[in-house]
Amino acid sequence: MISYLIRRIWQMIPTLLGVILLVFFLFKYFGGDPAELLAGMSATPEQIASIRAQLGLDRPVTEQLWIFIQQIATFNWGSSWATKESIANLFATRLPATLTIMVPILVLEVALAIVAGVAVAYVRGSLTDRLVMVITTVALSVSFLVYVVVGQYIFGFMLGWFPVQGWSNSVWTNLAVYAPLPVFLAVLVSLAPHTRLYRSFILDEIHQDYVRTARAKGVSENTILFKHVLRNAMIPILTNVATQLPGIFVGSFLIEVFFSIPGVGREIYLAVNRSDYPVIQAFTVYLATLTMVINLVTDILYKFVDPRVVLK
């Protein structure tokens, strides 16, 4: 296990370096001149040159790249070009709001989708199974924006159960007052595709030889489904959850923008609109690193879920 961890961590280094180089040169040569964007349409060439000097854009490319690598290595990302706020402070102040929304969403959607997937797989081929598949197909065809608009109108304006927008400094107030509506809508949207996906994972296992053998030995259907099938289906379920985990720390810009939640997702959205390259670069490298770490943790979890898995 230790040798596997060391080897995987060592393999992450060239991958991360490739991401850093790609991000740097993409923003350097394909993103336009930040000085012109910040200066505005009426700026003079002297003003643009002054801004370029202040931002360090007049330095050689190799020096700019070295500064960028140093910022990543020291976790000192510099400051936003638009707001002058420290990027490290952006992470620290925006991440709690994102986690307050995204953690309940992930936990609820995974738990409910597993329960729904097992339940539908249990009655596979029945009228209930077909009806659920039709409902999930219809739900998949509706845009998330429709859910947000209709949800805000019904639960916010008509019924007045939840505030449509707002946020506070209290975690408990946010969870009790501001988070329920966006969490409910996000879980409602994600439940349809995940139910279908987890149902297919479980049905794939049901048709395996070990299930037929267990039935031939007289093992009950409930024991087969909950003790054997569900455990083996956890491998692809874990893989699916791992693909969603980076989104917890990045947030959903749609949810955060429409519900005025001061999280990471909304900050990225604002940074893109302002062409705030340092913020976008920092979040891109941060997301790439986070994704690699989560993939490593997921591979290790495979071993605990199924002892037959061999880490090489």
Contacts of residue 103, defined as CB under 8 A and 6 or more positions apart, other chains included, come to 248
Does residue 116 sit in the same domain as residue 216? yes
pTM of whole model > 0.85? Answer: no
The pLDDT of residue 159 is 82
Statement: residue 37 has pLDDT above 70: no
Statement: residue 49 has pLDDT above 80: no
Does residue 32 sit in the same domain as residue 117? no
Q: Would residue 26 count as lying in a domain?
A: yes
Q: Which residue has the higher pLDDT, 64 or 111?
A: 111
Q: Would residue 52 count as lying in a domain?
A: yes
Does residue 146 sit in the same domain as residue 220? yes
- How far apart, in whole angstroms, are the C-alpha atoms of residue 176 and residue 224? 39
What are the tokens at 286? Answer: 């941060």
Does residue 165 sit in the same domain as residue 111? yes
Does residue 164 sit in the same domain as residue 265? yes
Angle at 102 between CA 260 and CA 204, to 5 degrees: 140
What are the tokens at 284? Answer: 């891109």
Range of the domain at 211: 96-274
Total domains present in the chain: 2
Q: Which residue has the higher pLDDT, 59 or 281?
A: 281
DSSP code, position 140: H
Q: Would residue 289 count as lying in a domain?
A: no
The pLDDT of residue 243 is 79
Helix (H, G, I), strand (E, B) or coil at 86: strand
Give helix 61-74 / helix 277-305 axis angle, nearest 10°.
50
Statement: residue 95 has pLDDT above 80: yes
Last residue of a domain, one of 74, 104, 129: 74
What are the tokens at 254? Answer: 């749609």
What percent of the chain is predicted at pLDDT more than 90? 0
Tokens 């706020």 belong to: 85
Average pLDDT of the segment spanning 21-28? 78
Residue 33's pLDDT band, with cuts at 50, 70 and 90, is low
Q: Would residue 294 count as lying in a domain?
A: no
Statement: residue 182 has pLDDT above 80: yes
Q: Which of 77, 69, 104 is nearest to 267 (CA)?
A: 77
Q: What is the pLDDT of residues 124-155, one digit of tens each?
A: 778 887 888 888 888 878 777 888 888 888 88
Q: What is the pLDDT of residues 225-270, one digit of tens each?
A: 777 787 778 888 888 888 777 777 766 778 888 888 888 888 888 8
The pLDDT of residue 273 is 78
Q: Would residue 80 count as lying in a domain?
A: no
Does residue 249 sit in the same domain as residue 155? yes
Does residue 139 sit in the same domain as residue 198? yes
